Structure 1
Amino acid sequence: MEVITIQEIDLHRFKRYRNKTISTPNGFCLLSGSNNSGKSTFMQAFALWEFCKNLIKLEHGDSGLLNEHIGKKQGVGVNIEDFLPLNIPSLKHLWTNLRITPEVDRQGNKEPDGYTLWLEVKWINSLYDDPRCLRFSLSLANERLFVKTTKSNIEKNEKLPQVAYIPPFAGILNREPFHTKAMRARLVGQGLSGSVMRNTLLELYKINQAKRKQLQGDKNRIPLSDLIQLRETDRWEHLLEVMRRLFDIELVVHDFNEDYHSYIKIEYWKGAYNEAGTKFIKHSGFNRRDIMVEGSGFLQLLNVLSLALDPLYQVIFLDEPDAHLHPSLQFSLLAELNILAEKYQKQILFATHSTELIASQPPENIMKFEEGKVSLLNEESQKIGLITGLGSEFSPQLHKLQRTKKVLFVENKSDAVTLGILAEKIGTPIPKDIVIWAWPGKHVERQHLFKQLKRVISGLTGISIRDRDGQPFETITESLLDKDNLGCDKDGLLARTWRFRYIESYLLSPKAIAKAAKSTEKEIIDSAKVFGVDLSAYDPNKIIKAYQELPSKPILTEGADCLTSKYKISKYDIANAMEADEIHVDIKTLISQILKLCHKI
């Protein structure tokens, strides 16, 4: 199998980098650094290199990239109207300090023939012994950009790296015509990946259908063993599984014949897996809709994943794809990209300002940009510098943490608000000198972050509280001690887990819900249909299995049929409606431990 891995890029007079060689890591990597630290310039360099490659091929064919033709062909010209990979006000902005004229180096050598900016990509191809390289040089004359190949060791018909750069807004269209592979590559090279998303999906689907037809042969259906293997290895099947799992959506690609179809049509329907988890079933009465009517988060994630799955591309650059995603989707996207990079041997580089995402990744998967310097991290302790320097949202927390040395990790801000309300109700408010840190990471992931913080904040202590989710009920003690995460405690971070499946279970008090909804307890119990006991005061030591695993979120807060949606109330309204004697012992236990941490009891 032919595998291409980019090793580095050499830049000369490109934007902020006058002379810079930057290595590119294998697999998945986060690009991290403050604003104007060089992340975007690094990614844009590859986008420009890809644009130059396509421009030369369009004008001179593949031969324009070969060493034997260097110096024999003139540069290819392009106006700013046709220059699409980067959004810049003038082509001069490609050059360092906007200076396009030749310079003289310290040895007195002058840059030749006005081609004063160059980008050279070096890579490894598993079919060749020697590293491969391809350099493009650029010149500007009368607001017209000229590009030519100035260094190459590639051979005729050799496969080259295909790079995709996805800017924050990728230009997704509501009507998309069919494009050849060459045109798709050209549009993606121009930074317009969203405009070919349907083409990418169609291509993945057609490959899948061809495989299915081959596996079925003259049989009535595909043999089960072959079907299982197809679902484990095929890229379209992979994408379908992710969309079902994250969005409860099934993608539907319509047949396309370029002889009489003008646009590619892709729709979706919503559904859910059956109880056995073997079949995805459509919701009754749901009519198929075009993918454009779904939210921006869905389209952003679909665009990114479809391109990352496209076998045409070996290297994917993502410029803050998490910027408009819900935090849970950010982590889902991160997890999926890690899987894709390893499974399909791709390089996926992901620029982000999210401190949560940075904290969740091993240091060797993080590339740090700082004041023109670029390096891979190699120690957990190096993350704290990034976290401290990123995001105005976390700077106040870190400053406060340095003073108070007390932290409470919760899954999200709403959990902290709920706890605060219930603490007030029992007359023991949560102290203001504890820093509430909302982060959905697991206890062990929070422990990694805690240890980083502790390296620079001596005496730091904390509590981490999480929903039990699918963890066995027996692993949690009456004091909420999580027996699966005992290692956290010795570092000063108490790992605590709710005995019920979710924190929302502690709000399933018909009396309090009825009070908040201005209704009756009977009506609330009838509305919920699945519970008739007051879980807010139920002893978990005596609780039956069905209630241990009660899906309280769909009952209380998630979906159009949940109680908060039906009665137009929030879970805060329910918490405020609870009396002190209705508040469960687990809540009181955790609040007591928080007070003890803060030396209030």
Structure 2
Amino acid sequence: MKVITIQEIELHRFKRYRNKTIGTPDGFCLLAGSNNSGKSTFMQAFALWEFCKNLIKLEHGDGGLLNDHLGKKQGVGVNGEDFLPLNIPSLKHLWTNLKVNPEEDSQGNKEPDGYTLWLEVKWINSSQEEPRYLRFSLSLANERLFVKTTRSNISNNEELPQVAYIPPFAGILNREPFHTKAMRSRLVGQGLSGSVMRNTLLELFKRNQTKRKELLGDKSRISPANLRNLRETDRWEHLLEVMRRLFDIELFVHDFNEDYHSYIKIEYWKGAYNEAGTKFIKYTGFNRRDIMVEGSGFLQLLNVLSLALDPSYQVIFLDEPDAHLHPSLQFSLLDELNTLAEKYHKQILFATHSTELIASQPPENIMKFENGKVKILNDESQKVGLITGLGSEFSPQLHKLQRTKKVLFVENDSDADTIKILAEKIGTPISPDIVVWAWPGKHVERQHLFNQLKRVISGLTGISLRDRDGQPFETITESLLDKNNVGCDKDGLLARTWRFRYIESYLLSPKAIARAAVKTEDDVIESAKVFGVDLGAFDPEKIINAYQELPSKPILTEGENCLTVKYGISKYDIANAMEVDEIHVDIKALISQIVQL
């Protein structure tokens, strides 16, 4: 069996990469990184290379790719409206910084012939000893793109890599005509894999039927041993098993004869395996339906898996195929693609933003993109930067967290600074080992992040602290337990919420404000304009409604009429001026829990 493995792609003046060579890993790999980190550019480079290959073959045949014909063939032109592999507003966007004119290198040499952008793919064919390469160069003139082969060592009739790029929302047609193999390859090369999904399914089915006829021969039924082997090795049988297991669906392909059928018809019915697990049986009364009426998750998975199973393609690029899948389906898709890559010797590269998927894969299966740099991970700890979205495993915050294993999530750094001042006041300072993580996310979002961190930092513990804001007062206990988020506690993260609306409410002590501002208490109470409410009367047993919903931020820290602006002080000044008996029991309870980490 021949195996083609792409080793690398070399890019010159393509989009964000001025000069870049990027290695391509074997088997299955996740492409991970923040937005605008280079993942899509990397995948699109292969899509463009595949488009160029098909364009040259369409115009000049296979000979247009051979070394013997280099310089003898003119470039093949294509108009902007016929350029389909990438969705860009103008063909200039293919070039780095939109500069399409020839440039001089460090020795003063200009790029020849005005072909200023090029892409070269290098690969290994198991049937040949020498690594293979094929380069296409591009030029732009009057909004018309010209493509030609400029470097090659391939020979006539040699098998070349076939690359499939599946962008997000690859269009799936409800009435799909039959396409020749060349047209299917062309459409997939244009990023329109969904428009040939029924063709792909029909092709897999027909190959399966041919195998079944061969195994049947002149017998009345296929032998159990041959049938078992067929089900273990055949790609259509593989797809059927996945669809049954994940969706309780059996695919049904209608006969197709291109002489009198206009469209390929594929339907499904729902059912379940019998108790012995040997036969898939249709539900009583279920009528067959066209596959288009099933949900988008089913169609997305079917499109991706059918193309990954197609023996025509050795390299599959998937641009966030998990984006609209339920989490359970995301993991199912991941598992299946891992299996396909290993079983059928495929290279499957899967771009994702899912922290769950990143956390589930070994580091050697993750290709990290950051600021134009690309690397394969080699250590579990390197995944943390990707999981948290910080973009670098060298973040001091993360390194400290890996060492101390204690985290305090707050809405902003000023909250943590205020708590630290008050902790010093009561004689129980907060350890510097506790990592303060300022992030305005909700408790449930922080729990999600915490769980990802915990995958690579065993023994991690933490507290998530939030203002109550508009949440009902009765959902918070005296120990600041947030009854709406009790599920956090079981995983090592405590969800804690202030009983008052904001942390600023706990600083509304007239005595402390007066000391900080060098004013009298009466001046402070008058300035606050709270109509006689005693700001110092924080009775933990009797918290009246006026305190529950007190708008403390406008009183203390927000707006030109707030106390800190009026008196020229900060909330830290107030915290530093507080006496121990003026610090509210909620503050003391929280500090005690933080210290216990």
Q: TM-score w.r.t. structure 2 length?
A: 0.69
Equivalent residue in structure 2 for 1:450, among 442, 446, 454 = 454
Aligned partners of 1:100 and 1:116 also within 8 Å: yes
CA distance in 2, matches of 1:438, 1:47: 34
**Could you say which residue in structure 2 is the equivalent of 1:365?**
365
Aligned partners of 2:216 and 2:222 also within 8 Å: yes
**Could you say which residue in structure 2 is the equivalent of 1:165?**
165
**Could you say which residue in structure 2 is the equivalent of 1:251?**
251
Q: How far is the alpha carbon of 1:406 from its aligned partner?
A: 7.1
Aligned partners of 1:66 and 1:155 also within 8 Å: yes
The 5 A counterparts of 1:127-142 are: 127-142=127-142
Aligned partners of 2:268 and 2:288 also within 8 Å: yes
Structure 2 CA distance for partners of 1:288 and 1:406, relative to 1, 3 Å: farther
**Could you say which residue in structure 2 is the equivalent of 1:94?**
94
The 5 A counterparts of 1:334-345 are: 334-345=334-345
Which stretch of the first structure deviates more once superposed, 329-338 or 382-391? 382-391
**Could you say which residue in structure 1 is the equivalent of 2:290?**
290
The 5 A counterparts of 1:102-501 are: 102-389=102-389, 405=406, 437=447, 450=454, 452-453=456-457, 460-461=460-461
Structure 2 CA distance for partners of 1:218 and 1:438, relative to 1, 3 Å: farther
CA deviations on 1:449-490 (whole Å, 9 max, x unpaired) are 525235xxxx72389xxxxxxxxxxxxxxxxxxxxxxxxxxx
CA deviations on 1:394-438 (whole Å, 9 max, x unpaired) are xxxx9xx9999479xxxxxxxxxxxxxxxxxxxxxxxx9898745
CA distance in 2, matches of 1:149, 1:434: 54
Q: How far is the alpha carbon of 1:349 from its aligned partner?
A: 0.1
One-letter identity of the residue aligned with 1:75: G
* 2:68 aligned counterpart, secondary structure: helix
One-letter identity of the residue aligned with 2:85: P
* 2:202 aligned counterpart, secondary structure: helix
Aligned partners of 1:166 and 1:319 also within 8 Å: yes
Aligned partners of 1:404 and 1:433 also within 8 Å: no
Structure 2 CA distance for partners of 1:460 and 1:438, relative to 1, 3 Å: closer
CA deviations on 1:139-176 (whole Å, 9 max, x unpaired) are 00010000000000000000000000000011100000
One-letter identity of the residue aligned with 2:173: L
CA distance in 2, matches of 1:434, 1:283: 39
Aligned partners of 1:117 and 1:138 also within 8 Å: yes
Aligned partners of 1:450 and 1:493 also within 8 Å: no
* 2:359 aligned counterpart, secondary structure: helix
* 2:358 aligned counterpart, secondary structure: helix
**Could you say which residue in structure 1 is the equivalent of 2:568?**
none
One-letter identity of the residue aligned with 1:27: G
Aligned partners of 2:405 and 2:461 also within 8 Å: no
* 2:86 aligned counterpart, secondary structure: coil
Which stretch of the first structure deviates more once superposed, 248-257 or 382-391? 382-391
Aligned partners of 1:434 and 1:598 also within 8 Å: no
Q: TM-score w.r.t. structure 1 length?
A: 0.69
Equivalent pairs, count: 434
**Could you say which residue in structure 1 is the equivalent of 2:35?**
35
One-letter identity of the residue aligned with 2:127: L
One-letter identity of the residue aligned with 2:208: N
Percentage identity across aligned positions?
83
**Could you say which residue in structure 2 is the equivalent of 1:415?**
none
Aligned partners of 1:404 and 1:434 also within 8 Å: no
5+ long unaligned stretches in structure 1: 392-397, 408-431, 440-445, 464-491, 495-596
One-letter identity of the residue aligned with 2:373: K
Q: How far is the alpha carbon of 1:42 from its aligned partner?
A: 0.1
CA deviations on 1:4-44 (whole Å, 9 max, x unpaired) are 00000000000000000000000000000000000000000
CA distance in 1, matches of 2:357, 2:339: 15
1:73 matched to 2:100? The reply is no
Structure 2 CA distance for partners of 1:452 and 1:59, relative to 1, 3 Å: same
* 2:112 aligned counterpart, secondary structure: coil
CA deviations on 1:101-150 (whole Å, 9 max, x unpaired) are 00001111110110000000000001111110000000000100000000
CA distance in 2, matches of 1:325, 1:332: 10
Structure 2 CA distance for partners of 1:68 and 1:434, relative to 1, 3 Å: closer
Aligned partners of 1:7 and 1:24 also within 8 Å: yes
* 2:457 aligned counterpart, secondary structure: helix
CA distance in 2, matches of 1:599, 1:335: 42
Aligned partners of 2:388 and 2:453 also within 8 Å: no
CA distance in 1, matches of 2:44, 2:443: 44
Task: Mark the structure with the bigger radius of gyration.
Answer: 2
One-letter identity of the residue aligned with 2:167: P
CA deviations on 1:488-509 (whole Å, 9 max, x unpaired) are xxxx989xxxxxxxxxxxxxxx
5+ long unaligned stretches in structure 2: 392-397, 409-441, 464-489, 493-592
